[in-house]
Structure 1
Amino acid sequence: MKEKINLFWFRRDLRIADNHGLYRALAAGKPVLPVFIYDATILNDLEDNDSRVEFIADQVNRLKEEFERNNSTLWIYHGKPLNAFKRLWVEYEVEAVYTNADYEPYGRERDGRVATFLRTQNIEFFSYKDQLMFHQNDIRKNDGKPYTVFTPYRNKWLEQFRHIELDEYPSPKLLHGLLKTEPLKDITLRDIGFRRGSLEFPEKKIDKPILKNYEALRDFPAMDATSHLGIHLRFGTISIRKLTKKAVQHSAVFLNELIWRNFYADILWHFPYVAERSFKPAYDHIPWINSEKDFARWCEGTTGYPLVDAGMRQLNETGYMHNRIRMVVASFLCKHLLIDWRWGEAYFAEKLLDYELASNNGGWQWAAGTGCDAAPYFRVFNPTLQAQKFDPEFKYIRRWVPEFDDLSYPQPMVEHKLARQRAIDTYKKALASG
């Protein structure tokens, strides 16, 4: 008779330290076999040089090596998760599957299918809070409804935060509970149909000086004054508990950004339709112009607005864009060009190394005025004034738009004052008729 084991399923938590679900699996008493699945449903929609897959593969290989140093291994599969668990059910005597919660619509559907199959085989499925400080139902209004405005959400978040412990889960101390087994086969990038890209990944480092100076410097894109931890939060190579603890110690403004991330995750959970439609239904009646020619110039960074162009070129070249500039380029696309926010959201989803559905969607709907607690439709960023305020010496602009001082640099594709008024009139008319 085969030995009974538990499985731990890695997803957006590619680390051993302070991993909630991994800790629970190891503490449960049965030998634990760690599992990672290259989900074909997700990968099939990506280009073969998507650097995020390269980042994941590097982290998966690192985990596998660490487990092998502890006389265990990582079971790696490429395909559909349900098929992976059907194979695991055949290969092992599984008592329970442990994992950390996923809050996105596809993740919820996928986990539901897996959990249903496991139940038919009398295998338990346990899911834990790990990528956020608070689950989707932890922060509620007094009447039990979810918040849709950030400030009262933040106040309740902070109120409840005062009553929780920020202790780390000591999962590394329990690695003796791993299943003792020989190394299993590696799966390479080439095996799953991908190749290495050209982008560099930011260091996983919580920089105290950056946190301490975050409030004063975070809006100036020429300065290297932001954490660059987005990709590490996205794939869980850093613990949200550890990062939150540092934010509490050094920067209330940085903590506020982490609360926004939790807020947008909650919005996506409670209102999953926002992944495809405006949070405020009336805004789905806006008659976008949706010029493909204008969209191409925005994507390329040739709009004639230097701050917009610098941001788009930074994104295209590095997979990163400064957060202040993300707001400017998003506002420009939706308001100046009257192009549907979903076009921009999809472009960011393709390019950003730190892409998260909830935060990306929330940010775009904020800029477009279509989301919960969004900027009002009549608020239209002036890219020229934004450049004067946040890049007064044009250092950021000149870095990414070297022809900025030359006659070859294009004239603005739209005139700000006219574009602003056109946007306000278009929104106002659409909302009145909707």
Structure 2
Amino acid sequence: MISEPLTLFIFRSDLRIDDNTGLRGAFSSGLPVVPCFIFDPAQISLNPLNCNAFGFMMKSLIELNHQIIQAGGQLNVFHGNPIEVIDKIILSGVEIRSIHMNRSYSEYGVSRDLEIGDFCRRRGVSLHCWGDCLLREPEELHKSDGTPYRVFTSFWKRHKSLGNPPIPNSFDYKFLPVNFLRGSMGRSWAERVAEFSEFDCRAEIMAEGGRKAALSLLDRIVELDNYRETRDFPALRGTSELSAHLKFGTVSIRESYHRICSLFGEDHELLRQLVWRDFYAHIGFHFPHVFQRSFDDRYADLRWPGDIENLSLWKAGLTGFPIVDAGMRQLSQTGSMHNRVRMIAASFLVKDLLLDWRLGEKHFASLLTDIDQCSNNGNWQWAASTGVDAVPYFRVFNPWLQTRRFDPECTYIRRWLPELDQLSTRELFSIERVRKSGLNYPEAIVDHASASSYFKNFMRYSIRGSV
């Protein structure tokens, strides 16, 4: 039996010990700190479960446990409702004086943390929720009238005016070597890992989990001086590839920010992308209705007229539009998709196939290793022209023109559509030449010009209240 009072730190999407705001706060309590992680059934029982993201998280947890062992402790891993797990620890006779954790901004995360707060008040436990995964918290960045920003450029300017975030700090503490998993409290670390091995990723995921891989990518940022010029070309390795690591917190947002600043200065395009991540998190926090319906109320009740049977063809990469199909096959095979191609594929689903953006949002959420609810929602609503500061509805991506501009040698297309490798680049630029090739590749399931024209009229009339 442990006689002294303890501080419990709950890891979530912050799977590192260096530059971890909440963990540092836990040690500032002056009490011994015991680290834990809780597999929440509400998240891992999702149908379908995102096995790619789960596999990335498991690899990151294994590395995190090694970090904690080197710091004198052990990661205590539980499976259950977070409140029930905490209550079970308290009922076992352990005096938990305070609980520390980093904030969440997803729809479920905000609701869960409010419930944990209510529970801790009833139990007389001090709860501390720290801001860690964003550059700026939702409460500290707003317009002069106190309302949230709805336009990114204004958000960006205000963000820059607040100065740089804190300098990252290294971990220099020791954990208390407490093992809650002995006896009735739960299974051992090895048993818990084995329990969830069935959920391991089903794809050859491109992103490798863990702190070691994150730091390697952080070092590689030095190669991205020309990021603005290379980021939109899917055949190039022109992006940071840090998104999954930022999602699961194997690297901190501050480490990323200051690494970019030290190399390229405070106006580099990569920093702007980090602030876009903040922007969508703030939108999700202030306007949680976006997780159910359009941000723009004019489109809240749209009845999407597309043929639902085309959804399965889009998912499988069988639309007859090579750049779209290449992206969808990359996603299904690797759990990743280049950001430019994500925009093309999303625009195609909504503005060519005339299907509800939420169907695409859900599919991406089931496969992307770097899935972040706020960013995924924001990006889909941007592409659908229903969201905050979205692309105008009359701007429709032409898959053929996008191919010419961003995959001019069709290198990306050939990588993911090997059945088209026999065609010349010129042939791959033409729907007619692809159709007449006689290869085992589907004909285009829609006519782009007709479909995009229909979409524009559909949205125009919906604004007028005719739909």
TM-score over 0.5 for the alignment? yes
**CA offset digits 1:182-219 (Å, max 9, x no partner):** 58421434414734334333432111333312111111
> Partners in 2 of 1:407 and 1:44 — Cα distance?
44
> Partners in 2 of 1:39 and 1:193 — Cα distance?
16
Structure 2 length-normalised TM: 0.88
- Structure 2 residue runs of 5 or longer lacking an equivalent are 182-187, 424-436
Report the counterpart of residue 150 of structure 1 in structure 2.
152
- Structure 1 residue runs of 5 or longer lacking an equivalent are none
**CA offset digits 1:140-167 (Å, max 9, x no partner):** 001111000110010000111x2x4531
- Decide whether aligned partners of structure 1 residues 210 and 293 sit closer, same or farther in structure 2, where only a CA change above 3 A counts: farther
Output the amino acid matched with 2:461. K
1:407 maps to 2:399: no
**CA offset digits 1:213-250 (Å, max 9, x no partner):** 21111110001111111110110000100101122234
**C-alpha contact (below 8 Å) 1:286/1:426 kept by paired residues:** no
**C-alpha contact (below 8 Å) 2:15/2:64 kept by paired residues:** yes
- Decide whether aligned partners of structure 1 residues 183 and 127 sit closer, same or farther in structure 2, where only a CA change above 3 A counts: closer
Matches of residues 186-201 of structure 1 in structure 2 within 5 Å? 186=189, 187-192=191-196, 194-197=198-201, 198-200=203-205, 201=207
1:238 maps to 2:254: no
> Partners in 2 of 1:122 and 1:183 — Cα distance?
21
Q: Identity of aligned pairs, percent?
A: 38
Matches of residues 24-423 of structure 1 in structure 2 within 5 Å? 24-47=25-48, 50-91=51-92, 92-160=94-162, 162=163, 164-170=164-170, 172-174=171-173, 176=174, 178-181=175-178, 184=181, 185-186=188-189, 187-192=191-196, 194-197=198-201, 198-200=203-205, 201-202=207-208, 203-204=213-214, 205-206=217-218, 207-251=220-264, 252-404=268-420, 405=423, 406-408=437-439, 409-423=441-455
Report the counterpart of residue 184 of structure 2 in structure 1.
none
- Decide whether aligned partners of structure 1 residues 421 and 47 sit closer, same or farther in structure 2, where only a CA change above 3 A counts: closer
Output the amino acid matched with 1:153. F
Report the counterpart of residue 16 of structure 2 in structure 1.
15
**C-alpha contact (below 8 Å) 1:13/1:131 kept by paired residues:** yes
Report the counterpart of residue 425 of structure 1 in structure 2.
457
SS of corresponding position for 1:99 = strand
> Partners in 1 of 2:349 and 2:48 — Cα distance?
24
> Partners in 2 of 1:45 and 1:19 — Cα distance?
28
Output the amino acid matched with 2:253. I
SS of corresponding position for 1:375 = coil
Report the counterpart of residue 428 of structure 2 in structure 1.
none
SS of corresponding position for 2:195 = helix
**CA offset digits 1:69-111 (Å, max 9, x no partner):** 3332111100111111101212311110001111112111111
Structure 1 length-normalised TM: 0.95
Question: Bigger shift: 178-187 or 22-31?
Answer: 178-187
**C-alpha contact (below 8 Å) 2:56/2:369 kept by paired residues:** no
**CA offset digits 1:51-70 (Å, max 9, x no partner):** 22222222222222332333
**C-alpha contact (below 8 Å) 1:73/1:183 kept by paired residues:** no
- TM superposition outliers: structure 1 runs of 4+ over 6 Å: none
Output the amino acid matched with 1:375. V
> Partners in 1 of 2:20 and 2:199 — Cα distance?
29
Q: CA shift at 1:20, angstroms?
A: 0.5
Q: CA shift at 1:47, angstroms?
A: 4.6
**CA offset digits 1:312-369 (Å, max 9, x no partner):** 1111111000001111110011001100000000000001000100000000000000
Q: CA shift at 1:49, angstroms?
A: 7.5
**CA offset digits 1:278-309 (Å, max 9, x no partner):** 00011123331242221111111111111111
- Decide whether aligned partners of structure 1 residues 387 and 310 sit closer, same or farther in structure 2, where only a CA change above 3 A counts: same
- Computed over aligned residues only, the root mean square deviation of the Cα atoms, in angstroms, reads 1.7
SS of corresponding position for 1:37 = strand
